[in-house]
Amino acid sequence: ATDLAREFAQCGVEAIICTDVGRDGMMTGVNIEFTKAIQEASGLETIASGGLKDMEDIKALVAAKIDGTIVGKAFYEGTLDLEEEFKYVGANR
């Protein structure tokens, strides 16, 4: 996957959405290690997707300096307060 990410960067891709399909919709936590590996290999803006559960995941993503995340089921299930998320990210970027 990291080799493919490097190829994308060489082809002019500007950002990568990195989805762990095994975690997508499962709310088991974001695969930060994999997303970070893709980000570092490509040098591109990288968006984490799949598994986001709550503010602890947001805090871990910010700490890892991941560029963004897709919030899906966590929002619909009410385990993530978007106002709290926006405040935290804004104060810690």
DSSP 41: H
User: Quick one: tokens of 77?
Assistant: 């299930």
Domain of 85, CATH number, reads 3.20.20.70
Print the domain residue range for 39: 2-92
pLDDT tens by residue, 50-93: 999 999 999 999 999 999 999 989 999 999 999 999 999 999 98
Q: Residue 88: exposed, middle, or buried by beta-carbon count in 10 A (0-12, 13-18, 19+)?
A: middle
26 band by pLDDT with thresholds 50, 70 and 90: confident
Count how many domains the chain has.
Answer: 1
pTM assigned to the model: 0.90
